[in-house]
Structure 1
Amino acid sequence: MTRPRILVVGAGFAGVECVRRLERKLSPDEADVTLVTPFAYQLYLPLLPQVASGVLTPQSIAVSLRRSKKYRTRIIPGGAIGVDLKSKVCVIRTITDQIVDEPYDYIVLAPGSITRTFDIPGLTDHAFGMKTLAEAAYVRDHVISQLDLADASQDPQERASRLQFVVVGGGYAGTETAACLQRLTHAAVKRYPRLDPGLIKWHLIDIAPKLMPELGDKLGSSAQEILRRRGIEISLGTSIAKAGPEEVTFTDGRVIPTRTLIWTAGVVASPLIATLGAETVKGRLAVAPEMNLPGNDGVFALGDSAAVPDLAKGDDGAMCPPTAQHALRQGKHVADNVIAALRGQSMQRYVHKDLGLVVDLGGTDAVSKPLGIELRGLPAQAVARGYHWSALRTNVAKTRVMTNWLLNAVAGDDFVRTGFQTRKAARLKDFEYTDAYLTPEQVREHIEGTGRQD
């Protein structure tokens, strides 16, 4: 008899934790484990703003999945673009642009999320995101290049527009991105004697009435005060009406001349979820507390793409937020439930009480709320970096990150521009490949065409 086939889609926190636990708890002859991912590394997303600001190098937060020889999981380099639940087949587009079908007995869907966008004129053509390693590296190059171009320009209006930067999104990603990049430009402009530091302006805007409301009023106000003290202009209850190559129009009517628009206004589930034709909650796959899909044997979902009931809150209808903290624990829990299903045992419901929140604003500035305790300044910074450091999966990654932090604290930044994609401008639409997915009808037609239908 052939061994059961377990297919894991996605190499984020949830997917990798699931795979590693399956490898530890399953004997080699119990099941075959396969992982589908376009990149053979696990990205530590919360530290992307520090890559964009040059505090960390890109490879320090990209943990290789092929580094160790002891892992037996087969990696398919590509992206899942459709799933047919009836015939138990996942449709994959490989990095060589081939379409292949991967049959499974158990599937774990952890494709993560993509940047949430709205129908705003010019947004996807002129904004940058902060969701992938390539975007973080590109944004750093772009921001430093604006200083170079402003320094070279003889036009005062062009110079002023290149030195204004707009970040949309008052959540953790947007706040940390604005904070870290503002520190970068503040330090870098000292190396440009022809530029007036007063021309550098950062704008952080959000449609919500508060920054990071999850922190509470006091810590949220502290974060705002830190940013305003640095000169970052915060506009709440405001969004973008339209975006152009040289200016951005706010919904309150203001027009900001700028060449830099960074969009971090939330995330939505991967488009892969829509290919299943199953019930969703706000775009996320509706799953049971055991993280399995009701009515479909062997189908599990977790992380940003799954509406996992948050039983710890005791609030009927509450879902686990799309955070690394939940994804890590869900990955282990789903692995245990897959093994239980494989062995004919009972599955367990997922319950985890949130341990708190950390926000690193760069330098010695931070706000944290571990276990409900409100911290600011150096103690908050120690907690924030200690949490991120401990969450890194390998000792190699921990060593690289700690070395980067120490080196940056002692020597500062070199403000090196690598010339990444220097001949071709790239924007939001160029990094996440959201047009690659099939519709449920296309998935079914493809399966019928290959003769895999039941």
Structure 2
Amino acid sequence: MAIVTRPRILVVGAGFAGVECVRRLERKLGPDEADVTLVAPFSYQLYLPLLPQVASGVLTPQSIALSLRRSSRYRTRIIPGGAIGVDSKAKVCVIRTVTDELIDEPYDILVLTPGSVTRTFDIPGLTDNARGMKTLAEAAYVRDHVIQQLDLADASQDPAERAARLQFVVVGGGYAGTETAACLQRLTHNAVKRYPRLDPGLIKWHLIDIAPRLMPELGEKLGETALGILRRRGIEVSLGVSVAKVSPTEVTFTDGRVVPSHTLIWTAGVAASPLMATLGCETSRGRMVVDAEMKAPGCPDVFALGDAAAVPDLAKGEEGAVCPPTAQHAMRQGKVAADNVIARIRNQPLRPYVHKDLGLVVDLGGKDAVSRPLGVEMKGLPALAVARGYHWMALRTGVAKARVATNWALNAVAGDDFVRTGFQARKPATLKDFEYTDAYLSPEQIRERVERHQLREA
């Protein structure tokens, strides 16, 4: 008698694309149609756009960490770890669990949504001294670190040390960097009132970017508006400038300036997860090349989407256009990918991904914001209402919406708090400590491992 097994669907990554894909698979697939497994290092989905507000203390970390296990209908098996390699021929994914154990997970259909990592360059001292803003742990650590600099400066008797600890450098003039600089500058501006021994004039924030304009995706007018807001707050914005080298106590810019500083926050863009290079499939700037149905040519039964995939942007109508790595695209790609996986199982036709960009929102903290919903340029309180309304609606659960709304209301009434939790207090946690980009296997290592495993089972 032939034994019919259910197809095994393996989803890698619990970001916007991965979670939306899994949720739709659960809703639309019958319990006996397929087994769904999710690979994720944490049992939550991080709402990344609000990370700067966690770093500044406006929101608590739990408010933007949406649990994957709240639903009583959740039947997906979760493997706590990260995928570090895929053998698409043997249909095996190599996973490093949170206990550092390597396991081989077979699949019939693979959905890759591993997201992105912080993009770095070969700059002396960068990975050893810079802090990132890509994970919840990094945001919590950056907040503690910034408040710690105020504490240490207040206690110091050395004027040079005091001045160095009160200078902060943010690299990256995109959304993440601009919002991070804006939100943290407000934090230090309000906190210094509680430090009577500190001269507020010594606190200096630098925002630098190699691009000629701030947030060019917003358009020239709104970009100039945001630039004006930052400069009125006292943030020194330098465009056309990058970092030449970094040490624990100073940052050297490419224009020759040397800034005494103990704080460099690196937000200069993202790169696709190194996992995509392990499959041997075609990539473009690190992102896996896929068709409009998000299938990977040359890799059977592999779908890729989100930040790690170059999904054609059919809505633009331009040859070669790909979707930008934004949350709104990732969420919608997740739903279409789930429908295509189901169609693949049921031998039905697949449908292409098409979505017109809804616009951009940037929350600069306080009453300042710039937004361009559906091409309409806005600033000030209307833009803030649109920005926060968009983020609030995009939160997946009612619990998260309640927490975020409560945090916003409490911050508006009671103001900031300046509690330092002591997270990673005795360890200078930097980019290399939070992002394990050296953990991935090469295609040759993956193949050798899978072959050894197959021989042992034979």
Normalised TM-score (structure 2): 0.98
What is aligned with 1:374?
A: 377
| 2-structure distance, mates of 1:36, 1:439 | 19
Q: CA deviation at 1:297?
A: 2.7
Give the partner amino acid of 1:116.
R
Match of 2:104 in 1: 101
Task: State the secondary structure of the residue aligned to 2:315.
Answer: helix
**Residue 26 of structure 2 aligns to a residue in which SS?**
helix
Using the alignment, how far apart are the partners of 1:49 and 1:173 within structure 2? 7
Q: Distance in 1 between matches of 2:417 and 2:357?
A: 38
1:214-241: CA deviations, max 9, x gaps? 1001100000000000000000000000
Q: Indicate conservation of the 8 Å contact 2:14/2:39, yes or no.
A: yes
Listed as ranges, the matches of 1:6-405 within 5 Å are 6-405=9-408
Task: Check the 8 A contact 2:109/2:341 in 1, yes or no.
Answer: yes
Q: Any runs of at least 4 consecutive aligned residues in structure 1 with deviations exceeding 2 A, and if so which?
A: none
What is the Cα deviation at residue 425 of structure 1? 1.3
Distance 2:202 2:7 in 1: 62
Give the drift of 1:296. Answer: 2.8
d(CA) in 2 for partners of 1:406 and 1:185?
A: 20
Q: Percent of counterpart pairs with the same letter?
A: 80
Matched, 1:434 2:437: yes
Q: Distance in 2 between matches of 1:84 and 1:8?
A: 15
Q: Deviations over 1:85-135 (max 9, x none)?
A: 001000111111111111111000000000000000000000000000000
Q: How many Å separate the matches in 2 of 1:414 and 1:313?
A: 45
Match of 2:449 in 1: 446
The structural deviation recorded for 1:388 is 0.3
State the Cα distance separating 1:381 from its structure 2 match.
0.2
Give the 3-state SS of the residue equivalent to 1:136 in structure 2.
Answer: helix
For the aligned residue pairs, the C-alpha RMSD in angstroms reads 1.0
User: Take 1:71 and 1:410, find their aligned partners in 2: how far apart are those partners?
Assistant: 37
Contact 2:281 2:298 in 1 (8 A): no
SS of equivalent to 1:47: helix
CA distance in 2, matches of 1:171, 1:414: 27
Residue identity matched to 1:236: L
* Contact 2:359 2:375 (C-alpha < 8 Å) held by counterparts: yes
Letter paired with 1:18: C
Q: Secondary structure at the match of 1:434?
A: coil
C-alpha displacement of 1:172: 0.1
What secondary structure is seen at the aligned counterpart in 1 of 2:438? helix
Q: Give distance in 1, aligned partners of 2:82 and 2:375.
A: 39
8 Å contact from structure 2 (residues 61, 140) kept in 1: yes
Letter in 1 for 2:364: L
> CA offset at residue 423 of structure 1?
1.4
| Stretches of structure 1 lacking an aligned partner (at least 5 in a row) | none
Offset at 1:180? 0.1
For 1:294 and 1:423, the matched residues in 2 are separated by 48
What is the CA–CA distance in structure 1 between the aligned matches of 2:452 and 2:435, rounded to whole Å? Answer: 28
| Residue ranges of structure 2 left out of the alignment (5+ in a row) | none
Give the partner amino acid of 1:192. Y
Residue correspondences, number: 454
Q: Tell me, yes or no, if the aligned pair for 2:148 and 2:420 is still in contact at 8 Å.
A: yes
Q: Which amino acid aligns with 1:112?
A: G
CA distance in 2, matches of 1:218, 1:57: 33
Cα deviation per residue 1:382-430 (whole Å; 9 max; x = unaligned)? 0000000000000000000000000000001120000001111111110
CA distance in 1, matches of 2:407, 2:156: 33
**Code of the aligned partner of 2:43:** A
Deviations along 1:57-100, whole A, 9 cap, x unmatched?
Answer: 00100001112221110000111010000010001111111111
Matched with 1:412 is 415
